[in-house]
Structure 1
């Protein structure tokens, strides 16, 4: 996956965290990120898709997350919540992206921004979401990694 898209995800985690914590207008948050240079290396169109797409689909994203988390959504650490919401958005709405890329990016975001060990939590949740939303893709990848023994 391109570095520009990775930078877009990193900025989106920060922007969604800010939105979750402050409730500020998304357009205002976008303007701040554009003006202060945080999007210099980012794919701006993808940042915008995440910044506006996650809140637009928040009810569906949180409903799906609720099936797999061990506590109410609002009790999840806000950084982890932003990362999980981005991952669920991508698994649900960006079928052009392989699920393994989405999981790997989520893990890396958690390692970068989350508390110690949060990458394991993020990985576990996103893997369960992928198994539900991308069942055929997950199954084909897992079976492709399994070697079949012939007689002998």
Structure 2
């Protein structure tokens, strides 16, 4: 090129949409509801509880300071964080019979996701059971191990009929309750 030949304009790659799904199949941030975000923050907080054994008050304060917390449903976050930690033994007792290994062998992410699912099945009756299941699978896909979402799916799918029998039976076309 001579010094008078115009240089080609620098081209930037096209902007990626903020909505849709990532390469792992998880939803992108722009397409998440306030409650989905609350579940994400609750998962992070419960992870701190399971792994770091941190105090719930410290975890709560720390989590509320994280970027993006203002976009979540803080009431649902409170219910999940405090409900799951207050009922940890009850939730574990519901989950344990459905596991094919010891609880200590379950990843802390999957453990926390299953707590969220079991808690919502039990206490958040305004959220359809399939929504709870799907949201938990999405959390496990985004934050868990490679096939962790499959394990979470199997356990919570097994738990749903005992906590939401009428709803699950109606949804599956089974008239018995």
Taking structure 1 as the reference length, what is the TM-score of the superposition?
Answer: 0.89
> Is the partner of 2:70 in helix, strand or coil?
coil
Determine helix, strand or coil for the equivalent of 2:93.
Answer: helix
Structure 1 counterpart SS, 2:111 = helix
Alignment partner, residue 14 of structure 1:
44
Deviant stretches of 4+, over 6 Å = none
Whose helix proportion is higher, 1 or 2?
Answer: 1
Instruction: Choose 33-42 or 101-110, whichever is displaced more.
Output: 33-42
Kindly state the Cα deviation for residue 133 of structure 1 after the two structures are TM-superposed.
1.3
Aligned equivalent of 2:153: 123
SS in 1 for 2:100: coil
Note the residue ranges of structure 1 that are not aligned, 5 or more in a row. 145-152
Query: How far 1:38 moved relative to its partner?
Result: 4.2
Aligned-pair CA distance for 1:74 = 2.1
Q: Distance in 2 between matches of 1:42 and 1:109?
A: 15
Q: Cα deviations across residues 42-73 of structure 1 (Å, max 9, x unaligned)? A: 11111111111101111110001011011122
Counting matched residue pairs gives 143
Q: Give the TM-score of the pair, scaled to structure 2.
A: 0.77
Name the structure 1 match of 2:124.
94
The alignment's C-alpha RMSD in Å is: 1.3
Alpha-carbon separation, structure 2, partners of 1:107 and 1:96: 19
Specify the alignment match of 1:46 in structure 2. Answer: 76
Residue 64 of structure 2 corresponds to which residue in structure 1? 34
Displacement of 1:37: 2.6
Higher Rg of the two aligned structures = 2
Structure 2 unmatched runs, 5+: 1-31
Q: Distance in 1 between matches of 2:106 and 2:118?
A: 15
Q: Distance in 2 between matches of 1:36 and 1:88?
A: 25
